[in-house]
Structure 1
């Protein structure tokens, strides 16, 4: 399934700049849905030429749609196999409420897509004067998967530190898990948001796209990743415990994991975790069993802790799983759009 990521943020926070930075990574085919509050979709004209497929919802805010039908139609269009997209990004208008956007995407009726999280862009200079002005923290914090505090370069170092601490504390009152990442010039590593398919553009990519990517490239904070293989079936309960409580600093977990089931059966599932969102699906025929395992991705990932946590969860299971573990696995499959049986051998 193709992950659908919502890019939200108040007017002027830098959403379109962040989007262009995400699109500047070579080797990934990204579809974009632009939502502008005006009758003419102005933001669509600001995007660089490397977008592989784009659609727009103009004349209103996506979170104010009477139902998800118009959005679902665009998601169906962009998730068509012929487009071979790796991810779809929905850039909302500055008026959009992340809570409502998350609901629309989580309960989308479009096939072949899954919820990939909410990335909320904040303006470090203006946020405390325009969005979070005091009182109760805004409800938007509760819905976000990743908070990007943009324009940190416009603040003096001492003020930048204090501002980031205040914003982080406010987010934590609503959301204990979402990473709060300070960025400058809207530069964010795409690996935090979606899988990067290749290191370079395919050979048939137009040179114009490569030039566009180069002109929009900025230095991004380094992303850390830890990979632990899982050649033998493991206990589903141990893996579900890991997904419920990821290693410190791990924003994403991904991979294919073989599980031991009752009666000596086995099942493999592709696992994707973004923040608090967990998704399971069959791995597909192209998933090589020799590459089974999990990858943890994060900005402040402790490699030693992450490796130990993944190894403990993925250790081979020689005993049949408990009824509780199987019930938890079945519940997760249902939440992911199942029930699904994976590949039983």
Structure 2
């Protein structure tokens, strides 16, 4: 586990990091359609695209104007890398040599892939962390087939549970009552994601890019109450639950407790994040974790009249709510 008390980068430094969007979704959900929408839209930006196989990109071969073993440059200014090599090597070295040619990076996973290993890259490798920032995990969901898919595929559940943003695609194939039932099911798995409806992946790019999903200060600007207690009890094996403590926390106690939790249960914890009030500090501490990898830092003072309450969210499997609550509450400062 990386050091959870590591200082967060200052604003100027953070602005120099390349934003990375991880685009995932089950087979046939429409993530390639969404990717093509991003690549062809008039947004004035250029993106490097990392895909598992170039053929999955779904763009015509005549868009490729220059190619070497791994990197393809297309006529809209996008650079496409195939993940035949190592993601860390591509992000840390290959793409950075062409840094001036793009404004952000999009990583498209295969339909059966879990997004966690990709996200963990940005926690584990210091070189990647020094050059990029994970902006958001965006999951495309097939509205017509999702309920059956969730019953049959744990990968689809993982993709929804891990998402910062969900694009509910093909909504024209389902009536309103059906869509409401689907959204309720999605919320039962992941209560804190942003959810947008779409037809053929046609959504405003502001709903997908520059989301700050892994940047808690910016996430709080989008949704100030996203860490409030929105726990669910349901039959799905992935749940989300929130806790809050009104008294200041002892930083050392919290680090020891959360370290033990992630060490013992990290395989089942897909995401965890929170805003913490440490005793003796006048700044908020932002914490987040992916499985066993954790990070965090101070993000500035509390807002005027804002209650100094520590809030923590877990999304995962086999979560013991009473045990987690007791553990979190035991971190209070004496």
* Structure 2 partner of 1:142: 161
> In structure 2, do the counterparts of structure 1 residues 242 and 33 end up closer, same or farther at CA, with 3 Å as the change threshold?
closer
Query: Partner of 1:103: helix, strand, or coil?
Result: helix
* Structure 2 partner of 1:183: 198
Gaps of 5+ in 2: 1-16, 64-74, 227-270, 289-293, 301-334
Query: Partner of 2:187: helix, strand, or coil?
Result: helix
Question: Residues 106 and 114 of structure 1 are in contact (CA less than 8 Å); yes or no, is this contact kept in structure 2?
Answer: no
> In structure 2, do the counterparts of structure 1 residues 133 and 73 end up closer, same or farther at CA, with 3 Å as the change threshold?
same
* Structure 2 partner of 1:8: 24
Shift of 1:240: 5.8
Q: Does 1:152 align with 2:168?
A: no
Q: Does 1:55 align with 2:55?
A: no
Question: Residues 28 and 86 of structure 1 are in contact (CA less than 8 Å); yes or no, is this contact kept in structure 2?
Answer: yes
Cα deviation digits, residues 74-106 of structure 1 (max 9, x gap): 112223464342210001111111233333344
Cα deviation digits, residues 189-217 of structure 1 (max 9, x gap): 11223249xxxxxxxxxxxxxxxxxxxxx
TM-score, length of structure 2 as denominator length:
0.53
Q: 1:29-44 counterparts in 2 under 5 A? A: 29-36=46-53, 41-44=54-57
Distance 1:154 1:43 in 2: 24
Structure (1 or 2) with the greater strand fraction: 2
Query: Which of 110, 120, 127 does residue 103 from structure 1 map onto?
Result: 120
* Structure 2 partner of 1:243: 220
Aligned residues: 213
Shift of 1:18: 0.1
Q: 1:97-246 counterparts in 2 under 5 A? A: 97-108=114-125, 109-110=127-128, 111-133=130-152, 138-155=157-174, 159=175, 161-195=176-210, 243=220, 246=223
* Structure 1 partner of 2:103: 86
Cα deviation digits, residues 278-302 of structure 1 (max 9, x gap): 9xxxxxxxxxxxxxxxxxxxxxxxx
> In structure 2, do the counterparts of structure 1 residues 7 and 132 end up closer, same or farther at CA, with 3 Å as the change threshold?
farther
Distance 1:53 1:129 in 2: 36
Distance 2:157 2:220 in 1: 27
Distance 2:205 2:181 in 1: 26
Q: Does 1:328 align with 2:305?
A: no
Distance 2:52 2:163 in 1: 18
Q: 1:260-339 counterparts in 2 under 5 A? A: 323-326=280-283, 328=285, 335=295
Question: Residues 24 and 31 of structure 2 are in contact (CA less than 8 Å); yes or no, is this contact kept in structure 1?
Answer: yes
Query: Which of 40, 59, 75 does residue 46 from structure 1 map onto?
Result: 59
Cα deviation digits, residues 21-69 of structure 1 (max 9, x gap): 1122331011100113xxxx312452664252110125xxxxxxxxxx8
> In structure 2, do the counterparts of structure 1 residues 79 and 339 end up closer, same or farther at CA, with 3 Å as the change threshold?
farther
Compute the RMSD of aligned alpha carbons: 4.1
> In structure 2, do the counterparts of structure 1 residues 51 and 188 end up closer, same or farther at CA, with 3 Å as the change threshold?
farther
Query: Partner of 2:110: helix, strand, or coil?
Result: coil
Distance 1:55 1:134 in 2: 28
Question: Residues 34 and 92 of structure 1 are in contact (CA less than 8 Å); yes or no, is this contact kept in structure 2?
Answer: yes
Shift of 1:327: 6.7
